[in-house]
Chains A and B, each alone.
Chain A
Amino acid sequence: GAVVSQHPSWVICKSGTSVKIECRSLDFQATTMFWYRQFPKQSLMLMATSNEGSKATYEQGVEKDKFLINHASLTLSTLTVTSAHPEDSSFYICSARKGPFEQYFGPGTRLTVT
């Protein structure tokens, strides 16, 4: 199997605060993890690619200073939403690459900023 976990599964925070989301590959090592965002009834939007031991690469239009990504080990990547605002409220999903191309998704983190 290929299991990816995320923590927390949901979080509510106040505007201006920061929130950290963890993504772990539980039964395999992942040199590459990806972070996505999905708004209701919309498609997945890739935010960034996280590579173990190196800086993340961000998609066009994604603020790297706002969405801090750290891939400290082969099984853990974290996304920190800094100075969160209500418009950052969304469903954040990570995926981990196993083998050449297969990606396995975590269960997602629902963020609500009040």
Chain B
Amino acid sequence: QKEVEQNSGPLSVPEGAIASLNCTYSDRGSQSFFWYRQYSGKSPELIMSIYSNGDKEDGRFTAQLNKASQYVSLLIRDSQPSDSATYLCAVPGNDYKLSFGAGTTVTVRA
């Protein structure tokens, strides 16, 4: 099973600030990387996919991938209270199973 590690939380940011989430993975051959958001009591929701080195932006979310350093990050700009959730980094294996990080819980303070 591939190892995926996320920076330990919880992370508390004021409304309007940037929340920065980091994730490292062990398998240098990994090609696909995903960020899921999970609200308390709900199921995970796919919010970002990234496959190539560099940045990928989608609204207030930016995913950054650096395959040489084996890390992927997620930036949430202009954080809103509705962004308060647990964010999961996920990397698929050859058998399509996802390896998840432990998750980083983000709290956005109004």
Contact = CB atoms under 8 A, between A and B. Distances in A.
A43 B87 CA distance: 11
A67 interface: no
Contact of A34 (B36, B46, B88, B97): B97
Which range contains the number of A residues in contact with the other chain?
10 to 19
Interface string A82-114: 000000000101000100111111111000000
Interface of B: 32, 34, 36, 41-46, 49, 88, 90, 92, 95-98, 100, 102-103
B95 A104 contact: no
Contacts of B36: 105
Contact of B96 (A97, A105, A108): A97
Contacts of A91: 41, 43
Given A101-B92, A102-B34, A102-B49, A108 B42 contact: yes
Contact of A43 (B34, B43, B49, B102): B102
Contacts of B43: 91, 93, 105-108
Given A32-B96, A34-B97, A43-B100, A107 B42 contact: yes
